[in-house]
Homo-oligomer: A and B are copies of this chain.
Amino acid sequence: MSRRIDANAAAARLREAESILILTHRRPDGDTVGSAAALCRGLRQMGKQAFVFPNEDITPRLGFLLEGLWAEPGFVPGLICAVDIADTTLLTDGAKGFAGRVDLCLDHHPSNVGYARELALEEHAAAAGEVVWAVLRALDASFDLPIWEALYIAVSTDTGCFKFSNTTPLAHRIAADAIEAGVDFHAHNHVFFEAKSKNRFLIEKAMFDKMIFSADGQIACSWLDRPWLDAIGATDDDLDNLSTLTMALEGVACGIILTQNKKDPDYKVSVRTHKPADASRICQGFGGGGHPRAAGCTLSGPPEEAAKRLMAAAAAEIAAC
């Protein structure tokens, strides 16, 4: 298990190191990338050799934050620091070799397994970006525009633009300072929270077109077949978080989305609930599991049949609450 340390101690470790390699997680989001970029830039200000380890999953809309910060092959760091990575299973394939060698982890996931030698964990932080902000303050970094931009993206993306229940006062205060520093927050908000790709548009449309309701509108269920997804060229990004959309519908207490797998004909099932219905109880009946509000399982088709079984289980769960 990691030794737990605070942001000041984490800053002290970084100050002692001459060269630092920063790791981000697979399928990188705005928090891991923004945190890495802000930390790397802050360390460079201090004259450190700081680099971010290449992440093969990086997408263009986040990649710009790390331009000029990627480590060259052969870089041998004095300290390896993971940001926003709760477990070594979340390391990218290319970074698997660092699994037993992470010196420091800056994170906000309560589920962090403690794989790093030392861990600065703020369980109530909305984003790892808040921990990085605290470390940079402890390092007396000068918060320039690129650092504020990276921190803004870290806290805004992890809070759904300050909408989700995890939003903290500090996330808002970081945003306030970032805007004051001149970050073009609206351009970022458009990219992350407004713009919708054509495929995403088609997928949402198909999902709502096929949606069926039961239990007096309390259960909503829809599915997406792989041949059609392949035909339009859908990516994983296009399919991200579809099931949460069902929870916006008035009266819906349980939303269920089935998405056919790429490599076999089964359907990946994503279940979302509003309190008190328990999504994990619904999924456990099908060999799956998860959290009370968000859970998953896998079912074989045909999707109409799988939907019926899932909706029956959801109705039973709602009736039992």
Measured CB to CB, the closest approach of chain B to A164, in angstroms, equals: 7
**Chain B: CB-nearest residue to A213:** B198
Q: Using a CB-CB cutoff of 8 Å, which residues 245-265 of chain A contact chain B?
A: 247-251
> Please, which residues of chain B bring their CB within 8 A of the CB of A193?
163
Task: Establish whether residues B164 and A250, one from each chain, have CB atoms under 8 Å apart when the complex forms.
Answer: no
Which of A71-79, A173-181, A227-235 is the contact stretch? A173-181
> Please, which residues of chain B bring their CB within 8 A of the CB of A170?
176
Among A161, A163, A196, the one with the most B-chain Cβ atoms within 10 Å of its Cβ is A163
Task: Establish whether residues B194 and A165, one from each chain, have CB atoms under 8 Å apart when the complex forms.
Answer: no
> Given A176-B170, A209-B209, does the pair A195, B248 have CB atoms closer than 8 Å?
yes
Residue A13 at the B interface, CB < 8 A? no
Residue A189 at the B interface, CB < 8 A? yes
Measured CB to CB, the closest approach of chain B to A239, in angstroms, equals: 16
Bound Cα distance from A196 to B173, whole angstroms: 29
Contacting A172 at CB < 8 Å: which of B172, B195, B209, B249? B172
> Please, which residues of chain B bring their CB within 8 A of the CB of A249?
196, 198, 201
* Main SS at interface, chain A: helix
Bound Cα distance from A163 to B165, whole angstroms: 16
Residue A167 at the B interface, CB < 8 A? yes
Task: Establish whether residues A168 and B179, one from each chain, have CB atoms under 8 Å apart when the complex forms.
Answer: yes
Residue A111 at the B interface, CB < 8 A? no
> Given A173-B176, A175-B172, A180-B169, does the pair A196, B248 have CB atoms closer than 8 Å?
yes
| Copies of this chain, whole number | 2
**Chain B: CB-nearest residue to A193:** B163
Measured CB to CB, the closest approach of chain B to A122, in angstroms, equals: 16
> Please, which residues of chain B bring their CB within 8 A of the CB of A164?
186, 189
Bound Cα distance from A197 to B250, whole angstroms: 5
Task: Establish whether residues A194 and B250, one from each chain, have CB atoms under 8 Å apart when the complex forms.
Answer: no
Task: Establish whether residues A195 and B163, one from each chain, have CB atoms under 8 Å apart when the complex forms.
Answer: no
Bound Cα distance from A87 to B257, whole angstroms: 48
**Chain B: CB-nearest residue to A156:** B162
> Please, which residues of chain B bring their CB within 8 A of the CB of A64?
none
Measured CB to CB, the closest approach of chain B to A140, in angstroms, equals: 22
Contacting A217 at CB < 8 Å: which of B161, B173, B189, B198? B198
User: What are the 7 A-B residue pairs with the smallest beta carbon separation, nearest first?
Assistant: A172-B176, A165-B186, A169-B176, A172-B172, A162-B162, A169-B180, A196-B248
For this complex, 18 residue pairs linking A to B, each with C-beta atoms less than 8 Å apart, are A162-B172, A163-B193, A167-B179, A168-B179, A169-B175, A169-B179, A172-B179, A173-B176, A176-B176, A194-B247, A194-B248, A195-B250, A196-B248, A198-B217, A198-B249, A201-B208, A201-B250, A205-B209
Task: Give residues in A with beta carbon < 8 Å to B.
Answer: 161-165, 167-170, 172-173, 175-177, 179-180, 185-186, 189, 193-198, 201, 205, 208-209, 217, 247-251
